[in-house]
Chain A
Amino acid sequence: MRTFTYTRARHASDAVARFRTGTAYLGGGTNLVDLMRLGVATPDQLVDVSRLPHDQVEPTPGGGLRIGAAVRNSDLAAHPLVRADYPMLARALLSGASGQIRNMATVGGNLLQRTRCAYFQDTLMPCNKRLPGSGCPAVDGDHENLAILGHSAGDELACVATHPSDLAVALTALDAQVHVTGPGTTRVIPMPGLHRLPGAEPHRDTVLAPGELITAIELPPPPPGRSTYRKVRERASFAFALVSVAALIEVADDGTAGTCRVALGGVAHAPWRAFSAERTVAGAPATAETFARAAAAELSQAAPLARNGYKVTLARNLIAATLEELSR
């Protein structure tokens, strides 16, 4: 591991003041420390933000929830208000990583974890995300678990990486607001909107500027309806998603669908809000036929690579089955 200096910030603006080129903020470290050991991340200064006073989960006056960025994933999943009012969020958190890692991982750090694309994590390989311009071996290589939506496989700076967070998928479906403190400013970034598609800058996972620090996540009041998070993976636990879905649906007494939210994980460079599917469902009869049509509408935008076409079918079936389960 490359040498670095370590300092602990006392509050958010103190952390931002310590930031300079080469600095990384340290939360739980469950991804960053590993990337440093692999030589993928090479900060020369770590500013520890894990003990900042952002460790509370509090109801907001408007009926929502404010979650400090330093709250640990396991504590958020076990919080009574999350379990009662935001089941998709609790289930997304609980389906990520292992008990040990959830105890260490912070909410802010979870959103900023890097892709698990094997080429990104191997410094002997080219990778446009790690080293823009070096190429993307995944386009013609090992891409079975990489993107089917929103990627840039045909571009000069190709990137077909996926974002690995489960939490981010639920927050994307819930219209979460990300509170950020940066050099001289604070701002609020809506989800979807924090994470970006690779475009011409595959090295940038998010819209955050250098030095900007996530301080809190704010959830609006829970939307009406039933919600859940379903994750399909290669083993039953402790694995990243092949495809996951955060879904919510409200069904009226006459069987008509009202509010519908759908977001996908494991399919793109960012959590994928399935607006086409949502529009198809809202106001339509809450039937298997509607859900199949909605899923097909969303996945009509897919551009699978040579060996990950199975994910298109998987995502389609997962959307339809989950909405059907929720509307029973």
Chain B
Amino acid sequence: MNEVTIGVNGVLHRLTVDPRTSLLDLLRERLGLTGTKKGCDHGQCGACTVLIDGRRANACLALAVAHDGAAVTTVEGLAANGDLHPLQDAFIRHDAFQCGYCTPGQLCSAAGMLGESGPSAITADLETEPALTPGEIRERMSGNLCRCGAYVNIVRAIGEITETARP
């Protein structure tokens, strides 16, 4: 067993964990934060996406013990003071989900993506900071699968706020 201190949505948690515990299981089973979803548990679907020190990551592939000292943001931490995050608001207005299971991962992934700089695999000129066109959003969000196929409206919802949100 190992001792870890992990900040989650601004609250510090000091926990004793089995080193096999994934960050995903720690969030859901130990802290009761079930907003982060377990889809494939193999890093292939993106449902477990959270922000670790501000960077999006698959919580299922992260061992909790290796993230001692990290600051984690889950979907429960996106809304500030009860106000929806602009992405959450946009997802609702654009009807960007059906069953909703992938949505927490989509939201955290989009929030992380908007803070990233640099080109993507489809950017023509590697030395520019490309505009987040629908094609760029699709490529950058390809780690988040949606079995309901709500992609069209997910891209619209993210696209609506890219102009204001990107650094």
C-alpha spacing A29/B23, complex, angstroms: 12
Contact of A48 with B by CB under 8 A: yes
Complex contact B19–A34 (CB within 8 A) = no
Contact of A6 with B by CB under 8 A: yes
What residues on A are CB-neighbors of B63 within 8 Å?
6, 26, 29, 33, 46
Contact of A300 with B by CB under 8 A: no
C-alpha spacing A273/B2, complex, angstroms: 44
Count chain B residues whose beta carbon lies closer than 8 angstroms to a beta carbon of A.
Answer: 38
The smallest beta-carbon distance between A75 and chain B, in angstroms, is 9
C-alpha spacing A80/B128, complex, angstroms: 10
**Given contact pairs A6-B65, A98-B142, A99-B109, A104 touches B126 in the complex (Cβ within 8 A):** no
Kindly report which residue of chain A lies nearest to residue B125, judged by CB atoms. Answer: A83
Complex contact A237–B121 (CB within 8 A) = yes
Contact of B139 with A by CB under 8 A: yes
Over the window 56-76 of chain B, the binary record of Cβ atoms lying under 8 Å from chain A Cβ atoms (1 yes, 0 no) is 111001110110000000000
Complex contact A33–B46 (CB within 8 A) = no
What residues on B are CB-neighbors of A26 within 8 Å?
63, 66
**Given contact pairs A30-B43, A94-B120, A100-B49, A48 touches B139 in the complex (Cβ within 8 A):** no
What residues on A are CB-neighbors of B22 within 8 Å?
33
Count chain A residues whose beta carbon lies closer than 8 angstroms to a beta carbon of B.
Answer: 37
What residues on B are CB-neighbors of A94 within 8 Å?
119-121, 123
C-alpha spacing A205/B145, complex, angstroms: 31
Complex contact A5–B19 (CB within 8 A) = yes
The smallest beta-carbon distance between B38 and chain A, in angstroms, is 12
Chain B residues with a Cβ under 8 A of chain A:
2, 18-20, 22, 41-43, 46, 49, 55-58, 61-63, 65-66, 109, 112-113, 116-121, 123, 126-127, 138-144
Chain A residues with a Cβ under 8 A of chain B:
1, 3-6, 8, 26, 28-30, 33-34, 37, 46, 48, 50, 74, 77-78, 80, 83-84, 87, 90-91, 94-95, 97-101, 103-104, 236-238
Can you report 5 A-B residue pairs in the complex whose CB atoms are below 8 A from each other? A1-B20, A4-B20, A29-B61, A78-B117, A98-B142
User: 20 new A-B pairs (CB below 8 Å) besides A30-B58, A77-B118?
Assistant: A3-B20, A4-B19, A4-B20, A6-B65, A33-B22, A50-B66, A74-B116, A83-B118, A83-B119, A94-B119, A98-B46, A98-B143, A98-B144, A99-B56, A99-B109, A100-B109, A101-B43, A101-B58, A101-B61, A237-B138
